[in-house]
Amino acid sequence: MPAFAGMTTTIMTAPFDRLRANGVVLTSITENQRCGVIAVVGAPNAGKSTLVNALVGQKVAITSPKAQTTRTRVMGVAIEGNAQIVLVDTPGIFAPKRRLDRAMVQAAWGGAQGADLIAMVVDGKAGRGPKLEPIIESLKHRSERKWLILNKVDIAIKEKLLVHTEKLNETLGFDEIFFVSAATGDGLPELKAAFAAAMPEGPWHFPEDQVSDATDRMLAAEITREQLYHQLHAELPYATAVDTEQYKERPDGSVEIHQQILVGRPTQRAIVLGKGGQRLKEIGSKAREELAALLGVKVHLYLHVKVKEDWENDRGIYRDIGLDWVE
């Protein structure tokens, strides 16, 4: 039977170094280290990126209420005691209809390859719906350890939540089950400690101060795209991309970034620009402010909106946003 968070699960942790009283023997850090990879999968808008950001302790993946915000595999690195937890935040898995959709779903399952365990994140409020079925079917045939993470428990109806949990567990037989709220932090310390204890022994894959494998250039494009979603909501179609044309450091230490916002039609360009270009200025201002906080330097951000009807068929765009080209 799986262990439910907050019940009788025992978490084992070990210190990095030990100074022994007799002779002061210092144990090598690598002797006690643990490190492993966790693939975070689920349906769109289950809260995967919010969960990864919360476990890492800072933003490594963008979030928005818009479904399928995460397009490519994002790796976040969390530290808990002597364990380094490599969290692979994957795009939401759904029935693909277009080339971009197919590339995103391929990236999601590709992110699960070689993982030490798969954490399936489910929206605790929405429960089991048709969007979960293809994920469940695929997980039935995978040999990795599988954990169920019921997210958004702060807004879920508890009775329904337990029913959803039982049905999901009957279908897949999870090794562990946790109830959390990535938004409020409820249950996250227990989940993080359990992840750490589940990691295999071995040296860390990344330096202690590295929180992601994303480049600053990629991060800049994602932050601008996040602002597009936050500020335009339902006004802006899903088919939008941000291409960082230039990223360079100035002699004074500040960063200069030039980006193109690609849209499919002239009407979409007008939406992004807003009256007198005001909406674009606001998007740029918010993105610039957040980038400066994340990078720790002054940021000069220049945005341009371009109509490119067939951008979804441009191999270069796929390469820049970190997706493999699919036929």
Q: What is residue 51's three-state secondary structure?
A: helix
* 194-206: average pLDDT: 94
Quote the CA–CA distance of 135 and 124 in Å, as a whole number: 16
**May I ask the CATH class of domain 216-321?**
alpha beta
State residue 58's pLDDT score: 87
pLDDT tens profile 48-102: 889 999 999 988 765 545 444 444 567 789 999 999 998 887 654 434 445 445 5
- 287-324 residues labelled b (16+ CB within 10 A) or e (exposed): bbebbbebbeeebebebebeebeebbeeeebbebbbbe
* Rounded percentage of the chain residues whose pLDDT exceeds 90: 41
Question: Which residue matches tokens 């979960």?
Answer: 132
- Look at domain 3-198 and name its CATH class: alpha beta
Whose structure tokens read 């469940």?
A: 136
- pLDDT tens digit string along 28-51? 445 689 999 898 988 878 888 899
pLDDT band at 128 (very low <50, low <70, confident <90, very high): confident
Confidence band for 232, pLDDT divided at 50, 70 and 90: confident
Q: How far apart are CA 70 and CA 280, in angstroms?
A: 22
pLDDT in the model for residue 3: 43
255-263/241-249 β-pairing: antiparallel
- Supply the pLDDT for residue 99: 41
pLDDT tens profile 146-198 = 999 999 999 999 999 999 899 999 999 999 999 999 999 999 999 999 999 99
pLDDT at 250 over 80: yes
**What is the C-alpha separation between 114 and 297, in angstroms, rounded?**
36
Task: Report the distance separating Cα 257 and Cα 288, nearest Å.
Answer: 10
Of 60-69, 222-231, 274-283, the poorest mean pLDDT is in 60-69
111 vs 92: CA distance, rounded Å: 11
**In the chain, where the domains are located:** 3-198, 216-321
